[in-house]
Amino acid sequence: MNLQKLYTRFIGVVFVLVFISLILDFSEFGFREETWHKIFHVLLGFIVIYYGWNNERFWKPFCISNGLFFTFVALFGWMYMDFGGLDAFNFVDTVLHSAVGLSGLLIGFFYKKN
C-alpha cells in the first residue's frame, strides 16, 4: 500500500474520531479553549477524508503540509510545555503532535512509490 495514502487516511479517520473526545470534554467542562483544539482536529479530519480519501494528488502535499504544521506545533509544545494551560501543549498531546508531524514529513519527503 502507498504510505502517503495510508497516512492520509489514518490521519483523517483518527481526527474525525476526536469527535468522541470533543463530546465527552464538552459535556464535562462546557465550551472552553480546548473545545477549539478538538473542533480543529475534527474539521481537518472531515476535510482530509472528503478531499483526500481517493485523491492521489492530495496525498503527498498533505503529508508534507500536515507534517510541517504538526512538527511546528510539537516544537512549540516542547519549548513551552503546558503553554497557557492548554491541553494542546501538554506532554501527551505534544508527543502525539510530534509523531503526526515527523511521520508526515518522513512519508511525504522520503517515500517513493513503486
Domain positions in the chain: 3-110
* Nine cell digits for residue 62: 498533505
* Nine cell digits for residue 106: 518522513
- What does DSSP assign to residue 1? -
Residues 6+ apart with CB under 8 A from 49: 9, 12, 13, 16
Q: What is each CA distance from 92 to 34, 62, 77, 82, 85, in whole angstroms?
A: 14, 23, 10, 10, 13
Q: According to the model, what pLDDT value does residue 112 have? A: 79
Round to whole Å and give the CA distance between 36 and 51: 22
Q: According to the model, what pLDDT value does residue 114 have? A: 58
Counting as low any pLDDT under 50, the low residues of the chain are none
Q: According to the model, what pLDDT value does residue 60 have? A: 97
